[in-house]
Amino acid sequence: MTIGVAINATGAGNQIDATVRHAAEAAAAGLRSAWFGQTFGADSPQLAAIVGREVPGLQVGTSAIPVFGRHPLHVSSQALTAQAATHGRYHLGLALGTKLLTEGGFGLPYERPVARLREFLTALRALTESGSADFHGELITARTPTPAHVPGAEDGVPLLVAAMGPQALRASGELADGVLPYLAGPRALAEHIVPAVTAAARAAGRPAPRIVALVQGVVTDDVDAVRERATEQLAFYEQIPSYARAIALSGGTRAADVAVIGDERTVAAEVRRYRDAGATEVVFAGTEIAGDADRHRTWALLGELAG
């Protein structure tokens, strides 16, 4: 099982410099991958491309680009550029997005998200694998009157989806290479997410999907204080139906209930639970809430487990 980290250096004086520095520290600790969230700030495929160039050998990924407010032609260009820059070490994550950010940020109606995801994946797969597309859907049109390939990225790009609901999991199993569930504990993975996406992939004749579990977690002795900060920072996700459902299916009430916070023994045991639940990869996020010392401590443990 691969173990990686999600890097968030938005509090640094220069986010790009700090991201590269943290990625190098993660690789030195023995971690195998670094993932970057997409916000209205730094562009995550560019971050991945820069880190992949600066830290050879480290797998890099985007988790995740919403399909609203983007077009497959633009996302394909970003992904193929990152893939060529990293010599095949880039992984692209997509997301359905949320009503709050889609309508509040882009001014677009948040309608038929799963249908849009299906069309987006279909067009994007053609673009990333062949450099061309002639797709005409209900919601998306993607054509390439001129070639859209990027030399050096001929092997395509792995496509994953931050899917947790039944319809999104079905679409991901049929059309993507795996899923990126976040705030979904081992119970939700084992009983709902893994069976659903695996069955959909099998029915579509696709290989077994990757299950990249994004886990909010940190190794610390100051458990109560760190959990309190996590409760505050993660409260936003409780407003989003897909996350709220995943938290409930995991046995939690608040988002912080599924966070993995404790000493090395506690965290190692939880990583094993995710593996046993069907995760093919575990990516720890949120280590920045506890400070540099606990971040280094967390990465040291995860690097040991990865080895």
Task: For 50-73, write each residue's pLDDT tens digit.
Answer: 999 999 989 999 999 999 999 999
Categorize the per-residue pLDDT at 75 as very low, low, confident or very high, splitting at 50, 70 and 90: very high
User: DSSP character for 221?
Assistant: S
Tokens of residue 90, six digits: 């880039």
Contacts for 233 with CB less than 8 Å, ≥ 6 apart:
286, 289
Could you give the CA distance from residue 206 to residue 136 in angstroms, rounded to a whole number?
Answer: 23
Amino acid at residue number 300:
A
Q: Where are the domains of the chain?
A: 2-306
What local confidence, expressed as pLDDT, does residue 270 receive? 98
What local confidence, expressed as pLDDT, does residue 158 receive? 98
Categorize the per-residue pLDDT at 162 as very low, low, confident or very high, splitting at 50, 70 and 90: very high
Q: Is the peptide bond before 201 cis (omega within 30 degrees of 0)?
A: no
Amino acid at residue number 161:
V
Nearest alpha carbon to residue 162 among 116, 203, 213: 213
| pLDDT, mean over the chain | 96
What local confidence, expressed as pLDDT, does residue 117 receive? 98
Q: Are strands 210-219 and 33-36 parallel, antiparallel or unpaired?
A: unpaired
Task: For 221-234, write each residue's pLDDT tens digit.
Answer: 999 999 999 999 99
Q: How many CA atoms lie within 13 A of 226 on its CB side?
A: 22
* Tokens 């069907």 belong to residue: 278
What local confidence, expressed as pLDDT, does residue 291 receive? 87
What local confidence, expressed as pLDDT, does residue 11 receive? 86
Residue 213 in contact with residue 189, Cβ under 8 Å? Answer: yes
Could you give the CA distance from residue 53 to residue 260 in angstroms, rounded to a whole number?
Answer: 31
Residue 4 in contact with residue 271, Cβ under 8 Å? Answer: no
Task: For 86-99, write each residue's pLDDT tens digit.
Answer: 999 999 999 999 98
Tokens of residue 229, six digits: 């900060």
Could you give the CA distance from residue 151 to residue 59 in angstroms, rounded to a whole number?
Answer: 20
Distance of CA 255 to the CA centre of its chain: 17
CA end-to-end span of the chain: 10
Task: For 189-212, write each residue's pLDDT tens digit.
Answer: 999 999 999 999 999 999 999 999
- CATH number for the region 2-306 comes to 3.20.20.30
Please check the confidence at residue 18 and state whether its pLDDT lies above 90. yes
What local confidence, expressed as pLDDT, does residue 136 receive? 97
Task: For 265-292, write each residue's pLDDT tens digit.
Answer: 999 999 999 999 999 999 999 888 888 9
Tokens of residue 296, six digits: 């280094």
Instruction: Output phi, psi for 293, to 5 deg.
Output: -60, -45
Please check the confidence at residue 1 and state whether its pLDDT lies above 80. no
Q: How many CA atoms lie within 13 A of 47 on its CB side?
A: 32
Share of the chain above pLDDT 70, in %: 100
Mean per-residue pLDDT, 32-48:
95
Contacts for 270 with CB less than 8 Å, ≥ 6 apart:
186, 215, 217, 260, 262
Please check the confidence at residue 100 and state whether its pLDDT lies above 90. no
Task: For 114-137, write each residue's pLDDT tens digit.
Answer: 999 999 999 999 999 999 999 999
What local confidence, expressed as pLDDT, does residue 154 receive? 86
